[in-house]
A and B are shown apart, each in its own frame.
Chain A
């Protein structure tokens, strides 16, 4: 038996842990672009903010799209509810609320991540230290994930936690693709200029896939392969298909456990069918942007339905 409020806490705890890490990943990719390409760096930082969904809030506070401003806003600004610091704080507050549902190891890893990041992000980050800070964030979230997977019982508590993780991750990957969809369109990338190469690498870096891409596809970046990798590849842990494979699985566990199916099951199945049906060519023919926009909408709806169907409130 699980309280609706506890399921809600687990779901959001994991969404925010995922988000805390995603912010670091986005800044990482932005930093890489800024280092390798001095022109148009501000444009690059702008698309990082767009991917983070924080463009508007940023523009209310800053004029210049610089590495210092953007990384400060996305990593440590507590007035930005999605910053790494805010996210880890919200995750920890949720963990505190659902503490009885967590193993001691999981709780301690979250509490320690919060303590160490709070210390690390207390003062503005010196640009020279940025790589160290980004590594630390990824390490802390990896430790949380490790203790979580290593110690949690695979029951409904685990299911609701995973739903949070994958809804957030799917949203994140889809947004990254949508912000840059135009550089993936065949007409524009036909030539395959150096410029495009950087853009493509940036996309892959945002999801920590720039190395694994080469293990799966050929050494050269090709837009259709990148899109295929991030949308349809079933083994790539941040692809939309991968996320929905696990969302589907955990929703099925819940339906089996409780002996009841809800609206969220139908929605998840609809999205899964969409991902399964076509090849990447079909998606391009349909319109990559249209496909992604619809996906983001449906994914958000799935989150709302989960909350409603399982009485989060």
Chain B
């Protein structure tokens, strides 16, 4: 029996590829690993779980009423990238992030790219993620998407692809930080032996970055706050963590209101002006007066304050149009249009099911492809063809035919693997990588990111909501 989402593809292992043996970035780690007593490592694995549970690093899983708080499994074998590999990646990411912001600015102003016919007008105009309310609005400092998580997969020594651009409210950065913290607690000697570039200044960089895009109306040092939907949200731990690490207030919609043309928070001494809001609330819930009227998570009237230029909202409303899965397939064109160069980081070939020829191809090859909902996220509502039964494929084909424009398809890639520690020793599992990018007057990428790992043997689904785990990600200082 084949477990869900699993395939039998020959994958490139980042530590021990079959052809060439141990890869260089892993040499020092491998030496250390061979000296370790396996029993001690098993003990460390349990220690790690205890650390996470004690500190309450949990996430809520939607649809599971009983286990309302769960841990994301953590594997103690790091995923290691050389300095050289990282430099190449960052060039590609920077270019892409520049293009994303330029695209957003264009889409909400002159729409040159649509006029030039490089992206179909309908795809933007009829897209739910496109916010007409943002047309003509210039965000403070001209930045639309301030915090981006670019999901990258690797399939060979030199082939990296962007799987997804998360330009709305990418999550997971707290795991990047806590994973490192945990690794340093568990194996302090490793970090003395191997020079790993630090990630722990991320909260500081985030704060500086948010301060740099403050509105002109902010007098002196801007007041920054993190807006969370509340303690029942699945990513609440991260919201609290980031606010805490940045030393700013963690606010909910009920704490905020518009006072004299500014957004203000209710403190024990009355209302205090907020200049920059790092919101972890979706567009639709941001302002009940502009968007969903039933939302209690947002701030009535905040969009008016925003349009008047009196608050920075990070990320800006309407950035979802840039990471929409249908737009994704046009990213190579978008990158070239705004940067004048070919995209350094490639896209995964994508069939847009809205196009009749593509739909035909996808239906004929359904058992070989990965098919995703255009607006879906978190690994929900997708089909991994090679792992699905005939019945599942047929059922999915029906959904696909009913609303083709709702889907895209991609070849099933043999994502690279990285070993995890199991009871029987090292065993390869598929991984992806989400580096975090900060945009203000400059672009900064913390050397590392979140490595997500599919814990089930052969599985390609790395999402935490679907049984994925995480690893500490090392960028070597070489």
Interface residues of A (CB under 8 A from B): 1-5, 7, 93, 96-97, 99-100, 104, 107-108, 111-112, 115, 156, 160, 254, 258, 260, 310-311
Our pick among B55, B231, B236, B269 for the contact of A1 (Cβ within 8 Å) is B269
* CB of B249 within 8 Å of the partner chain: yes
Our pick among A97, A99, A160, A311 for the contact of B266 (Cβ within 8 Å) is A311
Interface pair B255/A3, CB less than 8 Å apart: yes
Mostly helix, strand, loop or mixed at chain A's interface? helix
Our pick among A2, A96, A97, A108 for the contact of B268 (Cβ within 8 Å) is A2
List chain B residues, Cβ under 8 A from A104.
Answer: 55
Interface pair B54/A4, CB less than 8 Å apart: no
Q: A3-B251, A3-B255, A5-B255 are in contact. Are A100 and B240 (CB under 8 A)?
A: yes
| CA gap between A112 and B55 in the complex, in Å | 9
List chain A residues, Cβ under 8 A from B236.
Answer: 96
Q: A97-B231, A115-B53, A156-B268 are in contact. Are A1 and B252 (CB under 8 A)?
A: no
A112 to chain B, nearest CB (A): 6
List chain B residues, Cβ under 8 A from A311.
Answer: 266-268, 270
* CB of B381 within 8 Å of the partner chain: no
| CA gap between A311 and B269 in the complex, in Å | 8
Interface residues of B (CB under 8 A from A): 53-56, 230-231, 236, 240, 243-244, 249-252, 254-255, 265-270, 272
Closest to B254 in A: A5
Our pick among B55, B240, B267 for the contact of A3 (Cβ within 8 Å) is B267
Q: Which of A99, A111, A310 has the most CB of B within 10 A?
A: A99
B207 to chain A, nearest CB (A): 14
Interface pair A3/B243, CB less than 8 Å apart: no
Closest to A5 in B: B255
Closest to A104 in B: B55
Closest to A109 in B: B54
Closest to A114 in B: B56
Closest to A259 in B: B269
Closest to A310 in B: B268
Interface pair B231/A100, CB less than 8 Å apart: no
Interface pair A260/B269, CB less than 8 Å apart: yes
Q: List 23 A-B contacts (CB under 8 A).
A: A1-B249, A3-B249, A3-B255, A3-B267, A3-B268, A4-B266, A5-B252, A5-B254, A7-B268, A96-B56, A96-B231, A97-B231, A99-B56, A100-B244, A107-B55, A107-B56, A108-B54, A111-B54, A254-B268, A258-B268, A258-B269, A310-B268, A311-B267
List chain B residues, Cβ under 8 A from A97.
Answer: 230-231
List chain B residues, Cβ under 8 A from A107.
Answer: 55-56
Interface pair B266/A3, CB less than 8 Å apart: yes
| CA gap between A111 and B53 in the complex, in Å | 9
Interface pair A100/B268, CB less than 8 Å apart: no
Instruction: Contacts A3-B267, A311-B268 known; list 14 others, CB within 8 Å.
Output: A1-B267, A1-B272, A2-B267, A2-B268, A3-B249, A4-B255, A99-B240, A104-B55, A108-B54, A108-B55, A111-B54, A115-B53, A258-B269, A311-B267
| CA gap between A96 and B233 in the complex, in Å | 12
Interface pair A93/B231, CB less than 8 Å apart: yes
| CA gap between A5 and B267 in the complex, in Å | 8
B276 to chain A, nearest CB (A): 15
| CA gap between A99 and B239 in the complex, in Å | 10
| CA gap between A115 and B53 in the complex, in Å | 9
| CA gap between A238 and B464 in the complex, in Å | 48
Closest A-B pairs by Cβ, 7 of them: A100-B244, A310-B268, A99-B240, A4-B266, A97-B231, A2-B268, A111-B56
List chain A residues, Cβ under 8 A from B252.
Answer: 5
| CA gap between A186 and B215 in the complex, in Å | 72
| CA gap between A97 and B250 in the complex, in Å | 9
List chain A residues, Cβ under 8 A from B54.
Answer: 108, 111-112
